[in-house]
Structure 1
Amino acid sequence: MKTTKEGPRQFARLTASGAACVALFGLTSHAQAETTLRVWTRSNPDARATYDNIASAFTKKSGIKVEYFNAMTDYEQRLSRAIAGNDLPDVIINDSSSLGLMMKTGVAAEIDRAGFPGGADIQDRAWQGAQGYNGKYYAVPVSVQSFVFFIRKDWREKLGLPQPKSWDDIAKLAKAFSTMQPAGAGKPVYGFTFPASATRGYTTWFMSSFLWQAGGDFIRPDGKGRFRGALDEPAAAKTVGYFRQMLCSDKVTQPGAINATTADAIASFRSGQTGIFFSGPYHIAVVDQEPGRDKVEVIAPPPGPAGKADSLGEGELAYVTRSANKQAALSYIAFLTSPEGQKLGMHPGGFPVVRLPVNKTVDAGKVYNDPRWQTVETVYEKNAHYAPAIPDWMSMRQLTADGLNRILANCNSDIDAGLKDLNKKVNQELARQRVGAN
């Protein structure tokens, strides 16, 4: 594998003037035609097939070859080694929660939003996910999404129950699934799929939507450009209490939920072990295969105790690294965010790497021809809520996940006391990141 190494240095702003746009789309230079672009993606083999289709179309248009590397479980570790060894790819595609880390390590070059080719066609809300805590942009959004509920429609209808319209309805439906044998006599199932593992911060990642729906948050701005912890507020206790009741009192979550990752969770739902699953739209294609499209419905999150229906807003960002091929890298990203690239990435019927388009000229409902994707798009447009923009959200996510997992795991512990202690650690982490309130 051919690599390009470059010593650490400060990076100039990446701009795309009219002349650069010609180069980006025309790519007439001989040097560029011989370029091989190294692109890393956090993706599985199914997603890799979609990325390969994008690369084929891009190479045909530009003459630039694309060399992919993809991984899932150890992606961050491999990326850390590449950073430490100064052996970075040209483009890194990773989820939006990695933005602070990419800034802090100096991996991501600043992007000129106004000058990026086609940047005006990218949704403002999508650009929000690429905006750092200092107000500048360090990536280009290529895909967005929000969470929705996947529910065993066949089980719900068999029991004669309505679609849930509140947190209480979700809890009641989960209990009915767990106690009324909707899968048939002698076939016990569990109502709620809960990936409560602290691995990669899953506990925080999963519970965040519910915390916001209750009117809470992990941190809050103090009005002076800094932040304070917010996990000592009543909304946090209400949220943790809601999940601990499902885990400990009602016992409607799948066995081993406290240590379950998202991979474990989707396996529980697909195998028919559980009946309610809260996740991103990337699982639409896989649940169509098992347990089957006719058995599963997709609904928007109902409002929580605060009357909010917030849903975690996420997506993938494309970072240009300290690479010798910056112009080619920008060209690839410009293609990926173009209508053609977005539609290829959505890959109806297959595994989408562009879940919802960032390009506002692309209609998700028309591309997918699927009302479920229209539901996801509506949730994103109305209720997407991004994680806080602080220098290192990934560290904060892991810290809070460890604390929340610990409180949930001990069914007899004092929730308020546990959250108060966790909030102290949140404030210490904010101070470490130098964004804590005085």
Structure 2
Amino acid sequence: MNRPSLSNPWRRLRPALLAALAALAPPMAQAQQDVVRVWTRSWADGRKTYDTIAAAFTAKTGIRVEYFNATTDFEQRVSRAAAGGELPDLIINDSGSTGQFVQMGLLAPLDRATVPGGADLHERAWEGAKGFDGKTYGVPTSAQANVLFIRKDWRTRLKLPVPTTWAELEKLAVAFKTQDPDGNGKADTYGFALPGSAQRGYTAWFMSSFIWQGGGEFMRAVAPGQFKATADEAGTIAGVNFVRRLQCELKVTQPGAMTAATTEANKAFISGQAGIYLSGPYHISLFDREPGRDRIEVVPAPAGPGGRAVLAGGEVAYFPKAGKNKAGAMKFVEFLISPEGQTLGMKSTSGGLSVVRLPVNKKIDAAQVHADPRWQIVAQEYAQHGRTQPAVPNWTRMQQLVAEGLNATLSRCGSDVATEMKRLNTRINQELATQKALAKP
């Protein structure tokens, strides 16, 4: 006997039921537009500030932000994501990564006229988003320039002036090592916190300011988009000789300086092991906590024989070609570069560190927002003495090569600096030739 079929009613009802479910659930494409995935190269304290920005952005637009943050291995994570087809909608990283990202094929040129609020940004900040070909590949979100941090309590106890020249800086560093500036009766202090590790190019990053102060540079532009190495010139050698004297002859740098990344150099300054540190203004709020605001001072870097100069840079928001929510990413950037977004990024709320150091928006005054005159010093250094790294096709790779050469020169105390720098000069020219060949269409 045949049993009645139960499937026939289901088959009749199924289309109507599926249609009703589809009406209740948002389409996948719409769901993707409600979330923007943002990767930032930032520490946990910086992430707290980014979370504050995200909350305000979501409240204003309804678009959620999914963050991922990392530090020392950030570029490697980006490379793996690119290989696996898992790139986010937006990457916020140092402006020095522009060339590398372009060379990896992650980015397409950006028309500045399509960026809402882009006309309000400083022209100098836009320069950090340009590749070697002069095209723009992202939107600047923050600017900065290095400054000198000094243990003010140590300096005043020893009755020494704020250093304005290399000679005065050397004298202060020696005094911090030899004259018991913390008054504990022990020979346990050093003059200079040196992040000398070649990891992620730190040696080159740190040495840039001293090389420029010496009157030198790593390379010089000889034509648009073309460079020649200048590491063997007198000004560059002078800068390297000055720091190596601190490291090798005077021995005023902290123990383990040549393997220290910025994390270790930070600890040397925070703990009271070293009393002078050339670094970025993002450390102001960190050092205000420890050793304490009343114990530190922020001053301009001293002049060398080539004058005054400090490393300047910033962060850029990059839009990967593979990003799925380009409209959401642009809306987030529009908010981040607006006066509201820039102010939130500077205020270091929720116990976080500022992720906007100097504003890129011309409508914002850094010293007023920070309510701290020290930020005016940072702004003046950026405007008057800030220098940026050359826009070679891949500065990330070049910086690593230069860092390895400088690390070796500073570590081998018995070697001849001029000979070492001549060897590095050859390697820089070889890398420039390689990058030029790779950059050809």
**SS at structure 2 position matched to 1:221:** strand
Paired residues of 1:131 and 1:137 also in contact (CA < 8 A): yes
- Report the Cα offset of residue 109 of structure 1: 2.6
* Contact 1:228 1:427 survives alignment (8 Å): yes
Aligned residue in 2 for 1:397: 399
- Asked if 1:425 is matched to 2:424, the reply is no
Which of the two has higher C-alpha Rg? 2
* In 2, Cα distance between equivalents of 1:46 and 1:225: 37
Report how far residue 45 of structure 1 moved.
Answer: 1.2
1:82-161 residue pairs with structure 2 within 5 A? Answer: 82-161=81-160
Query: 1:192–1:252: 8 Å Cα contact kept in structure 2?
Result: yes
Structure 1 segments of 4 or more deviating over 4 A?
Answer: none
Alignment-derived partner of residue 40 in structure 1? 39
Match of residue 7 from structure 2: none
The amino acid of 1:417's aligned partner reads: T
2:298 match: secondary structure: strand
Secondary structure (helix, strand or coil) at the match of 1:433 reads helix
SS across alignment from 2:48: helix
Aligned length: 406
Select the residue among 412, 415, 419 that pairs with 1:413.
415
Shift of 1:111: 1.5
Partner of 1:387: 389
| TM-score relative to the length of structure 2 | 0.90
Structure 1 residue ranges without an equivalent (≥5): 1-29
Measured against aligned partners, the alpha-carbon deviations of 1:341-395 in whole angstroms (never above 9, x if no partner) come to 0001112464101111100101111111001111111111111111100110111
Aligned position for 2:19: none
Q: 3-state SS of the aligned residue for 1:430?
A: helix
- Give the CA RMSD over aligned residues: 1.5
**Where does residue 13 of structure 1 map in the other structure?**
none
CA separation in 1, counterparts of 2:56 and 2:171? 49
Identity of aligned residues (%): 52
> Which amino acid letter does the alignment assign opposite residue 407 of structure 1?
T
Structure 1's 224 and 337: CA in aligned 2 closer, same or farther, altered over 3 A? closer
- Report the 3-state secondary structure (helix = DSSP H, G, I; strand = E; otherwise coil) of the residue aligned with 2:223: coil
Q: 1:253: which partner in 2?
A: 253
Look up the match of 2:22. Answer: none
CA drift of 1:319 comes to: 0.4
Note if 1:203 corresponds to 2:214: no
Distance 1:348 1:110, change over 3 A: same
Q: Secondary structure at the match of 2:374?
A: helix
The correspondence of residues 339-350 of structure 1 with structure 2, limited to 5 A, is: 339-348=339-348, 350=352
State the match for 1:367 in structure 2.
369
1:312 partner SS = strand
Match in the other structure for 2:221 = 221
Whole-angstrom distance in 2 between the partners of 1:418 and 1:95:
29
In terms of mean alpha carbon deviation, does 223-232 or 190-199 score higher?
223-232
Correspondent of 2:359 among 347, 357, 360: 357
Letter of the 2:129 counterpart: A
Kept in 2, the 8 Å contact 1:311–1:384? The answer is yes
Partners in 1 of 2:310 and 2:33 — Cα distance?
44
Q: Is the 8 A contact 1:244 1:411 kept in 2?
A: yes
CA distance in 1, matches of 2:326, 2:314: 22
Alignment of 1:262-273 (within 5 A): 262-273=262-273
- Deviation of 1:34 (Å): 5.0
Q: AA paired with 2:250?
A: D
- Contact 1:196–1:261 (CA under 8 A) maintained in structure 2: yes
Q: Helix, strand or coil: the match of 1:240?
A: helix
Taking the aligned partners of 1:298 and 1:275, their CA distance within structure 2 comes to: 12
Residues 78-113 of structure 1: CA deviation (Å, up to 9, x unaligned): 111001112100000001110101111121232211
Cα deviation 1:117-159 (Å, max 9, x = unaligned): 1111100110010011111100100001000000001110000
Q: Output the CA distance in 1 between the equivalents of 2:277 and 2:33.
A: 47
Q: Structure 2: how far apart are the matches of 1:425 and 1:218?
A: 11
Q: Which residue of 2 aligns with 1:231?
A: 231
Q: What residue is the counterpart of 1:22 in the other structure?
A: none
Structure-2 residue corresponding to 1:188: 188
Within the alignment, does 1:332 sit opposite 2:328 as a pair? no
1:283 maps onto 2:291 in alignment: no
After TM superposition, the structure 1 stretch with the greater mean CA deviation from structure 2, 403-412 or 216-225, is: 216-225
Secondary structure of the residue aligned to 2:436 is coil
Q: Could you tell me the TM-score, scaled by structure 1's length? A: 0.90
Could you tell me which residue of structure 2 aligns to residue 172 of structure 1? 171
Query: In structure 2, how many angstroms separate the alpha carbons of the residues matched to 1:45 and 1:165?
Result: 35
Provide the rounded CA distance (Å) in 1 between the counterparts of 2:32 and 2:415: 63
Q: Which runs of 5+ in 2 are unaligned?
A: 1-28
Deviation, 1:328, is 1.2
Task: Using the TM superposition, give the Cα deviation of residue 33 of structure 1 relative to its aligned residue in structure 2, in angstroms.
Answer: 9.1
Relative to 1, partners in 2 of residues 1:225 and 1:356: Cα closer, same or farther, differing over 3 Å? closer
How far residue 269 of structure 1 moved from its aligned partner, in angstroms, is 0.3
